[in-house]
Amino acid sequence: MIAIPSIASVISQRNNLSDTLAFRTSERINETSRFKNKYKRSKENKTRIENKIYSRRNVIKPPFDSVVNPNHNYPIGVVNPNHNYPIGFFIANNGSVEDVCTASVIHTENGNIGLTAAHCLLDDNGNPWNLSFLSFSPGYDNGTNGPLGAIPVVDIAMPDDYLINPNKYGYALVRFGFNHGGSTLQDYTGALGWRFDIGSGEPTSVYGYPDRGNFENCVHDGEHLCKWQGITEKGRNFYGIKYLTSGSGASGGPLISQYDTKTNLGYAYAVIRGYLDGYNTSVGSIWDENVFLDLLSRITP
């Protein structure tokens, strides 16, 4: 049996966000990571979405209970650009310490697929990280690796239009290199469900590893798993969390609807991707169903 690490650092906060948010897509976004540099789009992927046709099915994928430890799931963890270094920090190629990011396992047929923010997969020059430097530790908390240690990331998929509109397409999928006796990662960690039909005023839980910000009763050191609870508001291109300063380590942290404290599971519908400083609001891009399903098809063997 897998031992589940203590998450005593996780504290619930309930805020009644009754203010209506006025969103402007031209508003300057203070990204929670360092994506400020540009790189060219891959020509071979340029028309992938245009040529890929999906029907609007309004897909709802339910949460997945761990097969190894039923009802004791730990699908959320830190993603790190060099699994030869201590988990919990971004280590750039020059050895400098950067920021942590959050990722989570989502329920898929493949069983080894995760969700994070798109900018978490880019280095200081705006280029995708070399996959040999990427790893993920589900269940990481309080400076300690999760029970499965550091798991390599073997593939990533970002929206082709992220460079054109990072505010609208600030999410990405990753695939993990995990196989224990034929079992997938979600068999061990459980997995969040996901959906595209969440509207405004949704009661939501947000998890992440903020290195600063205002998660209540949170150490804010990038190593403790922290939780926020409250109401999100839906704008034109993104969900807003009023009065939450998420901090860079919470980038990629899932926005979870119908979170169940007994199973640690629920439905992810966005990830933290930035902070709208003009409105004191953390934001997560609204998933385009066609784009999301295209990412899933691209990353699944």
Q: Where are the domains of the chain?
A: 14-299
Q: Residue 3 — very low, low, confident or very high, per pLDDT cuts 50/70/90?
A: very low
If one counts every other C-beta atom within 10 angstroms of the C-beta of residue 3, the result is 10
Choosing among 2.40.10.10, 3.30.365.10, 3.30.1370.160, 3.40.630.10, the CATH entry for 14-299 is: 2.40.10.10
Identity of the residue numbered 135 = S
Q: With 50 as the cut, is the pLDDT of residue 6 above it?
A: no
- How far apart CA 193 and CA 61 sit, in angstroms, is 5
The dihedral built from the CA positions of residue 215, 217, 219 and 225, taken in this order, carries a sign that is: negative
**Across all residues in the chain, what is the average pLDDT?**
80
pLDDT of 239-275, one tens digit each?
A: 999 999 998 899 999 999 999 999 999 999 999 999 9
Contact 101, 79 (CB under 8 A): yes
Q: Residue 46 — very low, low, confident or very high, per pLDDT cuts 50/70/90?
A: very low
Q: Is residue 180 packed enough to be buried (19+ CB in 10 Å), middle (13-18) or exposed (0-12)?
A: exposed
Whole-number pLDDT of residue 99: 55
| pTM recorded for the entire structure | 0.81
Contact 113, 105 (CB under 8 A): yes
pLDDT of 86-141, one tens digit each?
A: 333 233 233 444 457 999 999 999 999 999 999 999 887 888 888 888 889 999 99
Interior CA angle at 90 toward 85 and 91, to 5°?
Answer: 55
